Amino acid sequence: MPEFKYKAVDESGRIVKGTLSAFDESELELKLSQKGLILISAKRSGESFLLRFRKVKPRLIIEFYNRLYQAIEIGLPLLSALEEIAQGMPSVWFRKIIWDILAAVEAGNTLYEAMKRYSNIFSKLELNVIKMGERSGTLPLCLKELAGFLEWKEETKSTIKRAMIYPCFVILLVSVVIGIWIGYVLPQMAKLLIDMGVKLPLTTLMILKTSMFFKSHWNVIIGLILSFIAGFIIFVKIPQGKKLFHKYILKVPLIGSITFNICLARLCNNFAIMYRAGVSISEIFEILKDYSLGNRYLEDQLSAVFQYIQAGEHISEAFESVGVFPKLFIGAIRNGELTGTLDESFKRLAEYYDREVKNKVQALINTLEPATMIVLGGVFGVVALSILLPLYNLIGSFGKSY
């Protein structure tokens, strides 16, 4: 339970200062009044306050939801379940947060109310699903759904990271080798060959001049690169700039398709989880329009969908009116509306787009690996020839002299 540093006045008018544990200022005021004190001011002590701004790893949140679901499912009361989870939580910070949530529930608050105080850790979507789960008596199912959803998000991130590791490693390694050759090996060999009277090929001369230019103007080049990076960061921080950049990302071959499918999978998963928990359509879209899909352009399109729904259109009609979402997506939603299985339609769509993401990521890997090797092999070959050709000319001149 959080601790407060308080200033109060007693019946004689004397100022009293101290610390006291309470869920919030209202409870603190009640506790002090029971002691005959009137609260003047209160401030949450440092550690408890900092808990609100401390981030927790997604894996720990997944573990929290899974263990809470399992504990409630086997019949443990909520307080006992939270106590058991807190005792076994490896993260000290998250353990303190769970104890704080436990204290709040013990004080008569709902799980949703207790967790809402940590909105930096638990998203608006998660909190609303838990709120509806408590209302409808389906909290264990909601916790299980949330754990599965967060697990999917982490797996998707890991898949994309793994896809990028190999090309990035190869590019970095070859760039370092080429840099050493161009920066140190080639200039020394060229000087030696020129001293021996060997005429350098055009390729070697061009690479040498490039190397000399970089050496002479390295500070200007680095400055330009850093300026470009800073300018790009500023551009994507501006709402319109970010929207424009995200719009064009969707048009990049393979990468755009992967990004679009990830966003659709997130949207469908989010909708299915909240709809199953009993959140109303209007509330779902109120949450979704503020929820990060990972693409600002699509988030704006989702806000437009919500406006069409508010104007009286069906969900499928609203998505169709925007003109961005695919026909398969709209058709599945329309079918769900007609059959009354909207949550199942969104769930099946989420599974479909999840498979599409995995297939397209694999296709990207299959494309990037040979493409990276061909491009870097070509660059490596040009650099190697720039060294080998002068040597060949030198050996040829020795042969002629004998």
Do the bridges between strand 15-21 and strand 3-9 make them parallel or antiparallel, or are there none, so unpaired?
antiparallel
With CA atoms as reference, report the closest residue to 360 among 265, 244, 246: 265
Under 8 Å between Cβ of 348 and 165 = no
In the prediction, which pLDDT does 291 show? 67
pTM beyond cutoff 0.85 = no
In the prediction, which pLDDT does 50 show? 52
The residues of the chain scoring below 70 in pLDDT are 1-3, 21, 23-24, 44-54, 198, 290-292, 387, 393-402
Under 8 Å between Cβ of 62 and 151 = yes
Structure confidence by residue, pLDDT tens digits, 336-371: 999 988 989 998 998 899 889 888 888 877 887 788
* C-beta contacts of 350-356 below 8 A and 24+ residues apart: 350/265, 350/268, 350/269, 350/272, 352/328, 353/261, 353/262, 353/264, 353/265, 353/268, 354/152, 354/156, 354/265, 356/261, 356/265
Structure confidence by residue, pLDDT tens digits, 199-214: 777 777 887 788 788 8
* CB neighbours of residue 190 within 10 Å: 20
Q: What torsion do the CA atoms of 64, 70, 72, 78 make, to the nearest 10 degrees?
A: -30
Under 8 Å between Cβ of 302 and 267 = yes
Any idea where the domains of the chain sit in the sequence? 3-51, 58-122, 150-402
